[in-house]
Amino acid sequence: MKKIIASYPRSIMTCRGEPFVTLARAIVGQQISVKAAQSVWGKLMLAYPGFTPEKMARARVTRMRACGLSQRKAEYIRDLAGHLAKGKFEPSSWATRHEDDIIKDLTQVKGIGRWTAEMFLMFNLLRSDILPLGDIGLLRAIHLHYNDSVPMTLSDISALAETWRPWRSVATWYLWRSLDPIPVEY
């Protein structure tokens, strides 16, 4: 890990600030490359200045699709926007709540599973000790750097990651960087 971190001396994880933006970016980034996600996000920002839950809850799916979103991702962003616009969540309470409670809240939204909730915890709330074991990039980087590209079991990876506590989020971020020079940001 020390060698990987040294390879990116001026890199840090940053917070996007607004919960809706962080979650929407995570939805956009599901199962596509960082570069592709940035392209789609840029188009969304041009099409929807003042990207707010209230505005996006009323957005037309066809217009969102023209920005590069799939039908499903457009629907997911609208569902997320609806939850927030209607006050079904209280994002201001998340700063002090346990990770499992936040994951339970977020996974009520269509298209937000554990992985997306973990990205939110890492990139919005800047929780330092999240280990997203469902992330393919993280698993690939661990196999590459810690096991000569031979896949490891999730229990072996969890045991390895114990040495990174309480900074498993940071370790994950640097492992992603080792695979892709474009920083992961949601």
What the chain holds in terms of domains, given with CATH numbers, is 2-9+131-179 (no CATH), 19-123 (1.10.340.30)
Residues near 175 by beta carbon (within 8 Å), at least 6 away in sequence: 4, 137, 138, 141, 142, 145
Strands (E), 47-146: none
Q: Does position 146 have pLDDT exceeding 90, yes or no?
A: yes
Q: What six digits make up the tokens of 142?
A: 């661990």
Residue 183: per-residue pLDDT? 67
pLDDT digits (tens, 9 = 90+) for 11-51: 777 776 789 998 999 899 888 888 899 999 999 999 999 99
Q: Does position 67 have pLDDT exceeding 80, yes or no?
A: yes
In one letter, which amino acid is 74?
A
Task: Give pTM, 2 decimals.
Answer: 0.82
Q: What six digits make up the tokens of 32?
A: 């596509």
